[in-house]
Structure 1
Amino acid sequence: MSGPPLLTVEDLSVAFAQGGSTTLAVDHVSFTLNRGETLALVGESGSGKSVTALSILKLLQYPAASHPSGRVIFNGADLLAMDERQIRGVRGNDITMVFQEPMTSLNPLHTVEQQVGEILFLHKGMRGPSARARVIELLTEVGIADPQTRLGAYPHQLSGGQRQRVMIAMALANEPQLLIADEPTTALDVTVQAQILALLKDLQRRLGMAMLFITHDLGIVRKVADRICVMNHGRIVEAGTMTEIFEAPSHPYTKALLAAQPRGNPAPPHPEAPLVLQADNLKVWFPIKAGIMRRTVGNIKAVDGISLAIRRGETLGVVGESGSGKTTLGLALLRLISSDGPIIFMGQNINLLGIKEMRTHRNAMQVVFQDPFGSLSPRMSITDIIGEGLRVHQPRLSAAERDARVVAALRDVGLEPETRHRYPHEFSGGQRQRVAIARAIVLEPSFIVLDEPTSALDMIVQAQIVDLLRDLQRKRDLTYMFISHDLRVVAALASRLIVMKGGVIVEQGPAAELFAAPRSDYTRTLFAAAFNMEAVATVPSA
């Protein structure tokens, strides 16, 4: 492109002081970004992507963070050399940022109008009717349907996609020259993800702004980036155009990232395999109460009349957008929430059992949750976390026998037994998820609900966990219910599939048949979003 780059990051290093030592998180990184261009920074968690982005706007915690070397030149001025007053004039005006998790980025105590309007007031002095008109204009621009009715809404009253659109509206309020998007779609469903990406590209084209896009998902990069910088351990190991990186990668780490798609086909269960679990016309309704007397005036039908059957050794995939009822269904089948309708587990209707009677079945029914950070107690060692179920369900085991079972479970999930005396914070996200899986399998269950177990993980770790789950299933003859909105992972694991929307099953059948020829419009939209995002660029706004 003609003219000097809009942004030049030159020999940037970022160090963090902890105690008496210093850790180098970004190591002599250099790149340029031209006007109207999209540059993607890709790499696994801990590679230095976000730290690099935060350094551009001096948003790190100083003086704990420092810059041993480097300059960040924006429009000819060195941002790192600016004082706080000067950099404030750049933040929110010329350079803005959209973060990964909008729920933690938005103020839960302020309405949509207050939060977007605050940007207009701080940077342009706008208030009153003119500010409200501009807020409505911005919400319309980012695809919020009927924006007037959303002005008084609080973040918890919006969906994930709507919250992210509000964040984008705030970022674009002052028509910046550069937008930094830090994993802006990671927490979103595939259809919403596709809509947000299409929105960003459309806004970029109309406003002529440059975009620095940070992600670990190379499938997204293929759709948005002009150029790519691959980061690993704080360094840029490879840089090039999108075509160069995808078609002729040179660095081993880049090749590993590109190869890290979940692969393989699930083995179908034997048609004569015994049924492990059945549900017939299962319902989970949450009452809506109103009035002084708090009378029930309606119901939220989270699960509304679902029937299914799962055989031994089978993986049933459950897919759908957030709010479709996937997790509620899994929790109901495990009797972790109340439901109506028979649930037949190993030949017995467990929905008729009391708490004490149900306890005898708990060791045969386990769950692995989405968040490997929140599902493990930070105050317990790994051996205590994995062994807790054994103490509850098999109290006659001696301490040595229990320890041997913990060691065997750790080996099965690919972790060294010596790590069992460490604590969760000493492990990576992928290692924590392996611990969570070990906790589930140590009781030798028949049935495991896997609730989005890979969505919080990097692509390489995600592929490793898929291989691990498939290997454990084969060795232990396990039965899985795999809940996910990532259809690439589902395709690698599930032999049968049910598609949920609004608490009901839209369609179901053998996974290979549904992937090859989905029958409903909703399923086709989901699949298009997962495997060809351009196909859903015109999906209706939130």
Structure 2
Amino acid sequence: MSEAMSEHAPDGRPPLLSVRELSVAFAQGERETLAVDRVSFDIARGETLALVGESGSGKSVTALSVLKLLQYPAASHPSGQVLFTGGGEGPEDLLAMSERQIRRVRGNNITMVFQEPMTSLNPLHTVEQQIAEILFLHRGMRGPAARARVIELLTEVGIPEPETRLGSYPHQLSGGQRQRVMIAMALANEPQLLIADEPTTALDVTVQAQILTLLKELQRRLGMAMLFITHDLGIVRRIADRVCVMNHGKIVEAGPAAEIFAAPSHPYTRALMEAQPKGNPAPPDPQAPMVLEADKLKVWFPIKAGVMRKTVGHIKAVDGVSVAIRKGETLGVVGESGSGKTTLGLALLRLISSQGPIVFMGNAIDALGFRQMRPKRREMQVVFQDPFGSLSPRMSIADIVGEGLKVHHPELSAEERDARVVAALRDVGLEPETRHRYPHEFSGGQRQRVAIARAIVLEPSFVVLDEPTSALDMLVQAQIVDLLRDLQKSRGLTYLFISHDLRVVAALASRLMVMKQGVVVEEGPAQELFAHPKTDYTRALFAAAFNLETADEDAPAAGPAENG
């Protein structure tokens, strides 16, 4: 850890940012909990330092402390300095600055890109308004000059036809476009240091690759330093010069990225390196009964225009997709954002309107109304991507997991219902005593286990898993994959697994369906598709996913690592 404590970067450059013995404590009633414990590191101009570690290790808290973005007095700094030399007059301690002084640094000398752009962008302001606001606050720029600069920034971050996007609101952009807008805002004043907090976590693999390439290009052109926070070691290998590994608020290992990956010395670092979803999916039984079938399913959203709001066209979110899944099988559905994966899952569950026959457990359900579908809901469940958003913050875990039992099994007494909740929590690896707590008291991985418990407590036959591991760190991802595989084996569950993480798909799915712009471009046994993709789109998708671990952007497509 000596390098992280040094006063200069390895090549002798003086640090642009020097964090010294930083500690962060959070008040919990009369007690204080130490979230970051005497962390030290340096970042030189033009350098990329990655902070890595699992959820709760203190990465984001450290980054937020650099710009004093934590809420006081709930958060405090028992010790430490954050020395920044970008002001031109020698090192200044950012932690000692007043709110007025630090505001001159934020958005000007040091900027930040957050993990989830949809919650970071103002939903009531257009793209132009949000970028122009930064230009006005820090440079006094407005009018035609500001608009020209906004267009220039959108062009730099790869937004096509930027003039047509000036009036767009965040909800009208894709995930990748929203993240590009966030990067444009961060780079508006050409900062000396960019803090990127999990900027690619919620994006599909091709957009991830594009965003990483964009950040590297902008860094080279502007000569800025970058503090990159992530739990994805493939990204770290590709983008970082040096790495600091955090665990329980401390830096347990630090050094050049190549050395850390070649010979990690700390047991925790080695555990992170090995935290890949392992094992292979169980081979499907070709004689197993069919659980769900759909033939040439369509979900078209009308485009309306004019005073009379006439339909002038359609967005073909799902356009003629056929699906057949047998009992105990996992069908993986992959593709870029906007390819129709989630829409397909919602249509199969009859949560949105669609055209085309859907047969579940031998019965046609495509023509059933809300009341008629209600008894079927017990057999068809869903686990969503964001467990924090899908779990009610006002309900205890017992109420969340038991809610479906109240609806579908009203004959159960309170004691019987509680017993089933306890059994479901045990099945997903949670202590039954935690059922009286609330979602905010759990980690991301624990919340996802609660969401899975809510789905399986009704003993369904079919579960749609919509990106259930995308927001989780590598260690928790591996645990959730093992859990889903064990539940499938013990309960005979059938999964439709929607994901952009092809390593997770390779460990869980026996068959694979590749979607693009609402249609299926390729389908077949997962191992065959990974080994021999037939279409250019599938090859590009696999290359983006499996070559993130190499710095060679022109490397050929590669299949998943061996799942032993």
TM-score by length of 1: 0.95
Partner Cα separation in structure 1 for residue 400 and residue 131 of structure 2: 44
Contact 1:36-1:204 at 8 Å conserved across structures: yes
Q: Tell me which of 62, 67, 71 is aligned to 1:61.
A: 71
Q: Do structure 1's residue 169 and structure 2's residue 184 form an aligned pair?
A: yes
Q: Tell me which of 376, 393, 396 is aligned to 1:361.
A: 376
Q: Tell me which of 76, 84, 92 is aligned to 2:107.
A: 92
Q: Tell me which of 356, 381, 406 is aligned to 1:391.
A: 406
Q: Following superposition of structure 1 onto structure 2, how do residues 343-492 of structure 1 map, counting pairs within 5 Å?
A: 343-492=358-507
Q: Do structure 1's residue 251 and structure 2's residue 252 form an aligned pair?
A: no
Three-state SS of the structure 1 residue aligned to 2:429 is coil
Partner Cα separation in structure 1 for residue 71 and residue 432 of structure 2: 37
Q: 1:404 to 1:85 in 2, by over 3 A?
A: closer
Q: Tell me which of 154, 160, 174 is aligned to 1:139.
A: 154
Moved more, 421-430 or 6-15: 421-430
Q: Tell me which of 276, 291, 305 is aligned to 1:276.
A: 291
| Aligned-partner residue type, residue 207 of structure 1 | L
Q: Following superposition of structure 1 onto structure 2, how do residues 68-87 of structure 1 map, counting pairs within 5 Å?
A: 68-75=78-85, 76-87=91-102
Match of 1:3 in 2: 13
Partner Cα separation in structure 2 for residue 422 and residue 88 of structure 1: 38
Partner Cα separation in structure 2 for residue 163 and residue 358 of structure 1: 36
Contact 1:198-1:537 at 8 Å conserved across structures: no
Partner Cα separation in structure 2 for residue 197 and residue 253 of structure 1: 26
Moved more, 418-427 or 72-81: 418-427
Three-state SS of the structure 2 residue aligned to 1:277 is strand
Contact 1:194-1:537 at 8 Å conserved across structures: no
Q: 1:265 to 1:78 in 2, by over 3 A?
A: same
Q: Do structure 1's residue 502 and structure 2's residue 517 form an aligned pair?
A: yes
Partner Cα separation in structure 2 for residue 403 and residue 108 of structure 1: 40
Q: Following superposition of structure 1 onto structure 2, how do residues 43-62 of structure 1 map, counting pairs within 5 Å?
A: 43-62=53-72
| Aligned-partner residue type, residue 424 of structure 1 | P
Partner Cα separation in structure 1 for residue 343 and residue 308 of structure 2: 28
Contact 1:191-1:536 at 8 Å conserved across structures: no
C-alpha displacement at 1:535, in angstroms?
Answer: 6.8
Contact 1:284-1:332 at 8 Å conserved across structures: yes
Partner Cα separation in structure 2 for residue 294 and residue 98 of structure 1: 38
Q: Following superposition of structure 1 onto structure 2, how do residues 334-349 of structure 1 map, counting pairs within 5 Å?
A: 334-349=349-364
Q: Deviations over 1:244-298 (max 9, x none)?
A: 2222212222122112111111111111111111111111122222333332222
| Aligned-partner residue type, residue 271 of structure 1 | P
Q: 1:319 to 1:34 in 2, by over 3 A?
A: same
**Which 5+ residue runs of structure 2 have no aligned equivalent?**
1-10, 86-90, 556-564
Q: Tell me which of 3, 21, 24 is aligned to 1:14.
A: 24
Moved more, 391-400 or 144-153: 391-400
Q: Deviations over 1:195-253 (max 9, x none)?
A: 00000011111111111001111111111111111111211111111122222212222
Moved more, 18-27 or 178-187: 18-27
Q: Tell me which of 42, 46, 51 is aligned to 1:41.
A: 51
Partner Cα separation in structure 2 for residue 482 and residue 176 of structure 1: 41
Partner Cα separation in structure 2 for residue 446 and residue 3 of structure 1: 61
Q: 1:84 to 1:378 in 2, by over 3 A?
A: closer
Three-state SS of the structure 2 residue aligned to 1:374 is helix
Partner Cα separation in structure 1 for residue 95 and residue 122 of structure 2: 28
C-alpha displacement at 1:510, in angstroms?
Answer: 0.6
Three-state SS of the structure 1 residue aligned to 2:191 is coil
Three-state SS of the structure 1 residue aligned to 2:227 is strand
Q: Following superposition of structure 1 onto structure 2, how do residues 185-264 of structure 1 map, counting pairs within 5 Å?
A: 185-264=200-279
Partner Cα separation in structure 2 for residue 130 and residue 378 of structure 1: 45
Q: Deviations over 1:320-341 (max 9, x none)?
A: 1121111111111111112111
| Aligned-partner residue type, residue 157 of structure 2 | V
Contact 2:55-2:443 at 8 Å conserved across structures: no
C-alpha displacement at 1:537, in angstroms?
Answer: 7.7
| Aligned-partner residue type, residue 155 of structure 1 | P
CA RMSD across the alignment: 1.8
Q: Do structure 1's residue 328 and structure 2's residue 343 form an aligned pair?
A: yes
Q: Percent of pairs identical after alignment?
A: 82
Three-state SS of the structure 2 residue aligned to 1:239 is strand
**Which 5+ residue runs of structure 1 have no aligned equivalent?**
none
Partner Cα separation in structure 1 for residue 59 and residue 337 of structure 2: 28
Q: Tell me which of 128, 134, 141 is aligned to 1:119.
A: 134
C-alpha displacement at 1:59, in angstroms?
Answer: 1.9
Three-state SS of the structure 2 residue aligned to 1:352 is coil
C-alpha displacement at 1:447, in angstroms?
Answer: 0.9
C-alpha displacement at 1:423, in angstroms?
Answer: 2.5
TM-score by length of 2: 0.92
C-alpha displacement at 1:98, in angstroms?
Answer: 1.1
